[in-house]
Chain A
Amino acid sequence: MSKTYYLTTPLSDSDVEQLKSGDIVYLSGTIYTARDAAHKKLVDLINDGKELPFEIEGSVIYFVGPTPPKPGDPIGSAGPTTSYRMDSYSPILIRQKGLKGMIGKGKRNQEVIDACKECKAIYFGATGGAGALLARQIKSAEVIAYPELGPEAIRKLEVVDFPLTVINDSYGQDLYKIGREQYEVK
């Protein structure tokens, strides 16, 4: 049975351990945006032993490239992008830097699922194509790295009750498999 949780970043091991695939989470606090181009830069910095633009330990990364804000708005539309493009980078951030959460949409590969299990991290799904609705829960946005990437720059977001569903929990479960099996007609 699906449970509902209200959590605030940074996330701890105990925050993560209570969550199961299919649970609903309303997340508040600071989260960071990054898509593939920014992930590549972060992993290059790790490989070169250099400092990263934000503290990754306990943090949550949102895979999003928002539309430009209208004057007076903190951000434009901001729904999740497809996550598999980050699959080659996410395990490095989880294993080496203590990343605790990722927000996106779509399937992750086994390496990401394994890293979530071994290091207690969560892959959350946000509703793809609900960019206007999700933007309402983002109270501020600031570009903190790679402005040259435009929509793909790293932004620091303050979110309140950001609506999420647990896709991959820290026990190796996958909602995309569990949910589909329940409704598949063979």
Chain B
Amino acid sequence: MREIKYEDIVKAIRDCIIYSGTNLPKDALQKMQEAFENEKSPVAKEVLRQLLENAKIASDEQKPLCQDTGLAVFFVRVGEDVKVVGGTLKDAINEGTQKGYKEGYLRASTCKWDSRENLKDSVGYNLPAIIHFDLVEGDELEIEYAAKGGGSENVSRATVLPPAAGRQGIIDYVKEVISNAGPNPCPPLTVGVGIGGTFEKAVISSKHALFRKLGSVNEDPVLREMEDELVIELNKLGIGAMGMGGTQTVFGVHIEANPCHIASLPVSVNVQCHSSRHTTIKL
């Protein structure tokens, strides 16, 4: 058994939340630079220029990239030979989240679902964090983190297609979701697609797909081909940066697929704005 201290997890989470709020990761920055260079529309090009400048200001002045500093989403892979001492893993992640948002001057964006009362003072900053646990072999603790903004979540959609819809049905559905979303989710986008499993498995897969490094290649050749086709198709929509019309609508499409029930073909599309704030911690 390898022991990991509760307070070490709290500190790692806190630090990664503060850093991610103000520093766009290299993969997203690279994609933004490419989009700026390739964009044909002068209006959209100016938007991308502002976004590149914004990333520099945010990093230099340690000011959040975006006022929507998101809800904290975690995918946690816990090695079977890991033991957290001094408290539970879940509490450590939540405490680190609260500290990160408070001490990093990040926005309290969690409210009650009905009264819409901000939970800033009663329960704490942006708690509870959204955590997906997985148990794996080994003695490592791997935590993937993303700050997920509201605008791009609002246009995300899921459905269960009839199996006969097949590959083309999935492509058409993704196109429909992104076309309807238009300017609202702050393009250029990363599009996470979850296929198969049950209804909720598809949704969680589409979320997890967004954590993959931008510009990385899918290991599955069938999915890789679908991703390449979708990037071309989605850029043809003409939405462009911030929806003002242009050739650069997506940074990438990431697909995760699972075996599914013989009667179903679940598909989920989770949308990520251009401010793709994600990182991985290993403890």
The answer to whether residues A107 and B238 also contact, given A135-B63, A183-B40 and a CB cut-off of 8 A, is no
Q: A68-B107, A130-B51 are in contact. Are A181 and B245 (CB under 8 A)?
A: yes
User: For B242, what are the chain A residues with a Cβ–Cβ distance below 8 Å?
Assistant: 105, 125, 127-128
Q: Chain B contacts of A125 at CB under 8 A?
A: 183, 242, 244
B63 contact set on A, CB distance < 8 A: 70, 73, 76-77, 131-132, 135
What residues of chain B lie closer than 8 Å to A149, measured between beta carbons? 118
* Segment among B52-60, B195-203, B213-221 that sits at the interface with chain A: B52-60
Q: How far is the CB of A127 from chain B (nearest CB, A)?
A: 5
Q: Which of A150, A176, A179 contacts B108 (CB 8 A)?
A: A150
B94 to chain A, nearest CB (A): 20
Complex: chain A residue closest to B119, CB-CB: A150
The reply to whether B67 and A78 contact each other, CB–CB distance below 8 Å, is yes
Chain A contacts for B62, CB-based, 8 A: 70
Contact A67-B243, Cβ < 8 Å, known A76-B64, A81-B151: no
Residues of B with C-beta under 8 A to A64: 67
Residues in B with CB closer than 8 Å to A185 are 236, 238
Residues 183-228 (chain B) with a chain A CB within 8 angstroms: 183-184, 186
Q: Please determine whether B151 and A183 come into contact, CB atoms closer than 8 angstroms.
A: no
Partner of B247, one of A68, A178, A183, A186: A183
**Could you tell me the distance between the alpha carbons of A37 and B109 in the complex, rounded to whole angstroms?**
13
The one of A22, A73, A106, A133 that contacts B54, using a Cβ cutoff of 8 Å: A133
For A99-133 the 0/1 string (1 means CB < 8 A from B) is 00000011100000000000000000101111111
**Contact in complex: B186, A105 (CB < 8 Å):** yes
Q: What chain A residues lie within 8 Å of B47 (beta carbons)?
A: 127
Min CB distance, B29 to chain A, in Å? 13
| Contact of A175 with B107 at beta-carbon distance under 8 Å, contacts A67-B67, A107-B182 already known | no
A:52-67 near B, CB below 8 Å: 64-67
Please indicate the chain A residues that have their CB under 8 angstroms from the CB of B50 in the complex: 127, 130, 133, 163
Of all chain A residues, the one with the shortest Cβ separation from B63 is: A132
In this complex, what residue of B is CB-closest to A150? B118
Give the CA-CA distance A129 to B109 in the complex, in Å. Answer: 16
Beta-carbon contacts of A145-186 to B below 8 Å, as 1s and 0s? 000011110000000000101000000000110111111111
| Neighbouring A residues of B150 by C-beta, 8 Å | 81-82
**B69 located at the interface, meaning its Cβ lies under 8 Å from any Cβ of chain A in the complex:** yes
Interface residue A89 (Cβ < 8 Å from any Cβ of B): no
Interface centre among B238, B245, B273 (most CB of A within 10 A): B245
Q: Which residues of chain B are within 8 angstroms of A127 by Cβ–Cβ distance? A: 47, 50-51, 54, 242
B244 CB contact (under 8 Å) in A37, A66, A150, A179: A179
Contacts of A26 in B (CB 8 A): none
- Chain B binding surface, main DSSP class: loop
Q: Of B42, B43, B64, B273, which contacts A128 at CB under 8 A?
A: B273
Across the interface, do B275 and A184 meet the contact criterion of CB distance under 8 Å?
no
Measured CB to CB, the closest approach of chain B to A160, in angstroms, equals 16
> B107 touching A129 by the CB < 8 A rule?
no
Q: Does A2 contact B (CB under 8 A)?
A: yes
Task: Given A106-B182, A132-B64, A183-B240, decide whether A165 and B105 contact each other with a Cβ distance below 8 A.
Answer: no
Interface residue B106 (Cβ < 8 Å from any Cβ of A): yes
In angstroms, Cα B44 to Cα A79, docked, is 17
A27 nearest CB across to chain B (Å): 15
Structural contact, A176 and B107, CB atoms closer than 8 A: no
Docked pose: A76 CA to B108 CA in angstroms: 12
Task: Pull 30 A–B residue pairs with CB atoms less than 8 Å apart, ordered by A.
Answer: A37-B116, A65-B109, A76-B63, A76-B107, A77-B58, A77-B66, A77-B69, A105-B184, A125-B244, A127-B50, A128-B66, A128-B151, A128-B273, A130-B66, A131-B64, A132-B22, A132-B54, A132-B57, A132-B58, A135-B63, A151-B109, A165-B244, A175-B244, A176-B182, A179-B44, A179-B243, A180-B245, A183-B238, A183-B246, A184-B237
Known: A77-B63, A136-B57. 12 other contacts (CB 8 A): A65-B109, A67-B67, A81-B151, A128-B151, A129-B274, A132-B65, A135-B63, A151-B118, A175-B245, A179-B238, A180-B238, A183-B238
Residues in B lying within 8 Å of A, measured CB to CB: 22, 40-44, 47, 50-51, 53-54, 57-58, 61-69, 105-109, 116, 118, 120, 150-151, 154, 182-184, 186, 236-240, 242-247, 273-275
